[in-house]
Amino acid sequence: MPRDSADSGFIDALSHHFPADMFAHAEQSYLEEPRGRFQGARGFVARPRSTEEVSALVKACAEAGVGIVPYGGGTGLVAGQIAPEGDADMPLILSLERMTTIRAVYPQENVLIADAGVILANIQTAAEGVDRLFPLSLASEGSARIGGLLGTNAGGVNVLRYGNTRDLCLGLEAVMPDGSIWHGLKRLRKDNTGYDLRNLLIGSEGTLAVITGASLKLFPRPASIGTAVFVIRDAEAALDLLSLAKSQLGESISAFELMHRTGLDFLSKTMPEVRKPFGDHHPEWMILMDIGLPKGLEPQEALETLFMSAEAEGIVSDAVIAQSEAQRTEFWAIRELIPEANRRIGAVSSHDISVPLGELPSFIARVRQSIAQVGDFRINCFGHVGDGNLHFNVFPPDGKSRDLYLDETKQIKRMVHDIANELGGTFSAEHGVGRAKKADLARYGDPAKLAAMRAIKDALDPKGIMNPGAVLS
């Protein structure tokens, strides 16, 4: 474990060897996370501009036994980027915010190489500039940085077609816990030469190394995009619609998002200016669907055909197909603003679960029944149903404050996670473990896997300086 702190004496000693503006007192923005549930310890932040400076910093921390908390865009939802108050050893926050260079783009190879501090939206723009697509897309893409997204193996709305962040990465550059640099920024699709260090570091949440650069996969841009909101019979009908859509449209389905009436109700209450696809009528269950087609195919026609087939089978009862890019943007704004509406209402307990697709209806029904036995709570169930990932959030009764029900949080969370686990699922689908879900990992994690994780951590980071207190207890 770390044996020293990144206090003023340590920073003063380091400052003689680095640029004058490298270190600063950590402002409040470095000490908070989006949901406001964790408060970081006040200390210092280092903001290097190059991989070599990161290497020198890590080496100095390793020699002194000072912990390091890698920091990307600060958008993580499980406090992996927060060093909690009360820790005896104050770590150094290492922010990648100044490493923002897109190093190279290879359109013929469909590859882009970027510093870890590049904001996701800027990577998307760079890909668009060479008529390519970088498909990772999520609500925080205007502030999330690619190093943090790789560190947490972020998901987003396009996993169904393109995969998680892990699936979009060809190679990494990273600084190891002793300060050495792993030069793994390859552009190869095949490299079968020993242990896969790239996939080991992706999803490790900064506990094994500091990612400083990434070689990313690009894709051809669809010639045309279609978006529709379908009103479905019930939660089970979501799977029927997905199966029918796949049979008609193949791999052209980019996103398949489940939304519930409660989410639209919350939007109406907190952001009434947001336009809804069915006006003031909020259907109980809806699917927001994106398709991307090659040249020569018409998405409007494809979505109309899908609707007619699904209506004939009793799967859907209504739909609105976007007639313009502006209307498509309005549809997606609804989905992307639901988390903010949730935040304004105030959840008693929030969950990021995943279960096998076939178990989704059972999960929803069982959890609703279990929670109803605890109290008269509202539930907003939404998310990436196309890949089995649901955000299942529990709220107080209308007109009541979440503060009145916080004593129920632990019981509700245990119910939700127990049922997900029983159905072959997981308590964390895309947000990671961080510090918020360490107890869940200890409870639900496979013993052999946990033992292997600890052995890897001890081997690569024997001094325990990399994001101490995250993921593993």
* pLDDT tens column, 343-402: 999 999 999 999 999 999 999 999 999 999 999 999 999 999 999 999 999 999 999 999
Cα distance between residue 290 and residue 158, in whole Å: 9
Q: Stretch 332-350: mean pLDDT, rounded?
A: 95
Question: Which uninterrupted H or E stretch holds 108?
Answer: none
Question: Which pLDDT band, with edges at 50, 70 and 90, does 2 fall under?
Answer: very low
Cα distance between residue 192 and residue 194, in whole Å: 6
pTM confidence score:
0.93
pLDDT score recorded for residue 264: 97
The percentage of the chain sitting over the pLDDT mark of 70, rounded to a whole number, equals 99
Does pLDDT of 79 surpass 60? yes
* pLDDT tens column, 244-276: 999 999 999 999 999 999 999 999 999 999 999
H-type helices in 152-298, by residue range?
Answer: 159-162, 197-201, 235-249, 261-270
Does pLDDT of 1 surpass 70? no
Q: How many CB atoms lie within 10 A of CB 125?
A: 12
By the 8 A CB rule, do 119 and 73 touch? yes
* pLDDT tens column, 84-137: 765 557 899 999 999 999 999 999 999 999 999 999 999 999 999 999 999 999
pLDDT score recorded for residue 35: 80
CB-neighbour burial class of residue 227 (10 A; exposed 0-12, middle 13-18, buried 19+): buried
pLDDT score recorded for residue 227: 98
Dig out the tokens for 374 from the structure.
């605890």
Cα distance between residue 11 and residue 20, in whole Å: 11
- Nearest 5 degrees, angle CA 138-CA 143-CA 148? 80
Q: What is the full DSSP assignment across 242-273?
A: HHHHHHHHGGGEEEEEEEEHHHHHHHHHH-TT
* pLDDT tens column, 283-332: 999 999 999 999 999 999 999 999 999 999 999 999 999 999 999 999 99
pLDDT score recorded for residue 131: 97
Cα distance between residue 210 and residue 313, in whole Å: 51
By the 8 A CB rule, do 113 and 216 touch? yes
For residue 220, the one-letter residue type is P
- For strands 389-395 and 378-384, give the pairing: antiparallel
Distances (CA, A) of 217 to 134, 171, 258: 7, 10, 27
Closest of 54, 25, 53 to residue 40, by C-alpha: 25
Computed over every residue of the chain, the mean pLDDT equals 95
Does pLDDT of 3 surpass 60? no
